[in-house]
Amino acid sequence: MIDDFDDALALANGPAGRDGAGRRRARATPGLGRAESGGARTEEDAPGGAPEHAAEEGERDDTGAHHPAWERARELAHRAFRPLAPRGLPLEQAGGHTLASPLHALTDLPAFDTSAMDGWAVAGPGPWRLVEGPPALAGGPLATPLTDGLAIPIATGARLPEGATAVLRSEAGAVHRALLTGHTPEPGADIRPRGQECRSGAALLPSAAPLTPAALGLAAAAGYDRLTVRPRPRAEVLVLGDELLHRGLPHDGRVRDALGPMVGPWLTALGAEVLVTRRLGDDAEALAEAVATTRADLVVTTGSTAAGPVDLLRRVLRERGARPLVTGVAVRPGHPMLLAELPGAVPLVGLPGNPLAAVSGLLTLAGPLLRALTDRPLAEDRAALLAEPVAGHPRDSRLVPVVHRTDPATVRPLSYAGPAMLRGIAAATALAVIPPGGAEAHAEVRLLDLPEA
């Protein structure tokens, strides 16, 4: 259902009610203990065994249900479930996961003195007499020991012969009748000494660090064949709505499904491994079976979160015994988004059916939840100054597509920012968090990063 107020906000172009720099941060949630296996936290996890209660910030809907403030909802999503259990993976399969424990070097790096350049290993001042025998090569046997006045050809990465004092680069020397001449290099020149990068046992990466390609290379160099990781959470996407077409042009009152092609890649960018995207229409039985039989660590639905005649998600969740955790959020667009715990402690995020509202739900609930499942903290805030004023909702936060200007510290709000629109977000570099009441030009606002191609 399209929210007329949200559409009016998207078209508004005038000074906002108050400066965005004066926004309030939601009160911090009391700390909860971390556990070593997945699943929702219980009331006993809170200090003293007391359940957590929603902060005062937020609003109530027409039914009296409390909708937490936007930042409070993100904190609730981040604290509601325990991290997934660690597992060991071969190094070549660990990419994209996060470390379950700190990474410590198993060896000195480098493990022995090596040459940093192609040239000659030399001992003492020149000129030098070349020793007989094969050159020192990377991965080859240790070359003949040197004494002052001797040299041997050496390749980058080769072990330095005993007695060598420096490496003379190939372009800095010349050989005539087995005699090497050139300017005498400083002692230690172009030598990578053992332990230059780290010593055995040194802390290289902290727990929860993402295993990027560079991190995998570091782990390999440090001696690891397997790593203990928090795995990427497996996600299942359920697309709801009989009005959706999956190919061709809109016709007969039916529209193209924009969320099916978008939500899976977005979840991947947020850290999930998407198992499948299933299109269920408005079939309550199919939805009930899907949530009852899922093998995913996270279920994400699109559409059917409001109270329309065929919005069946909340009813199916009640009938399946799901526990509601967030039943709406004081944010526009996207206020009907929800978070629930399915039987078996599997989280379910319900995204509204309007495309920009669904993006709001991904960044408000799914993103923080995925970081929690991999034992990562909430992403650090970024901020920028608004180039233009942005109108606000009187009570709720507002997420607005923006684009960076030439000055990276300034962003400009984009048009086409209604809840059913994707034109603005497709051209955006970030979403700006506009506080209740709006924000004036030059006000500082928080930014939410968007996935890159």
pLDDT at 109: 95
Structure token pair of residue 86 = 């660690």
Give every CB contact of residue 358 below 8 A, 6+ residues apart in sequence.
Answer: 259, 262, 263, 302, 334, 351, 352
426, pLDDT greater than 50: yes
Q: What is the pLDDT of residues 395-412, one digit of tens each?
A: 999 999 999 988 889 999
Q: What is the pLDDT of residues 211-229, one digit of tens each?
A: 999 999 999 999 999 999 9
The candidate with the shortest Cα–Cα distance to 443, out of 369, 391, 396, 372, is 391
Q: What is the pLDDT of residues 311-365, one digit of tens each?
A: 889 999 999 999 999 999 999 999 999 999 999 999 999 999 999 999 999 999 9
Domains of the chain by range and CATH? 63-84+231-373 (3.40.980.10), 87-104+198-230 (3.90.105.10), 114-192 (2.170.190.11)
Question: Partners of 383 in the beta sheet?
Answer: 446
Q: How far is CA 240 from CA 1, 114, 179, 244, 260, in A?
A: 14, 61, 80, 8, 10
SS3 assignment for the chain: CCCHHHHHHHHCCCCCCCCHHHCCCCCCCCCCCCCCCCEECCHHHCHHHCCCCCCCCEEECCCCCEEEEHHHHHHHHHHCEECCCCEEEEHHHCCCCEECCCEECCCCECCCCEECCCEEEECCCCCEEECCCCCECCCCCCCCCCCCCEEEEECCCCECCCCCCEEEEHHHEEEECCEEEECCCCCCCCEECCCCCECCCCEEECCCCECCHHHHHHHHHCCCCEEEEECCCEEEEEEECCCEECCCCCECCEEECCHHHHHHHHHHHHCCEEEEEEEEECCHHHHHHHHHHCCCCEEEEECCCCCCCCCCHHHHHHHCCCEEEECCCEEECCCCCEEEEECCCEEEEEECCCHHHHHHHHHHHHHHHHHHHCCCCCCCCEEEEECCCECCCCCCEEEEEEEECCCCCEEEECCCCCCCCCHHHHHCCEEEEECCCCECCCCEEEEEECCCC
Report d(CA 143, CA 131) in Å as an integer. 10
pLDDT at 46: 36
Mean pLDDT, to the nearest integer, of 186-192? Answer: 96
Q: What is the pLDDT of residues 110-164, one digit of tens each?
A: 999 999 999 999 999 999 999 988 999 999 999 989 999 999 999 999 999 999 9
Output the CA torsion 50→56→60→63 (10° steps).
Answer: 30
Report d(CA 144, CA 121) in Å as an integer. 11
Using 50, 70 and 90 to split pLDDT, how confident is the model at 2? very low
Contacts 24+ apart (CB under 8 A), 2-8: 2/354, 2/418, 2/419, 2/420, 3/332, 3/333, 3/335, 3/354, 3/419, 5/332, 5/393, 6/332, 6/333, 6/357, 6/418, 6/419, 7/418, 7/419, 7/420
Q: What is the pLDDT of residues 79-105, one digit of tens each?
A: 999 999 999 999 999 999 999 999 999
pTM for this model (two decimals): 0.79
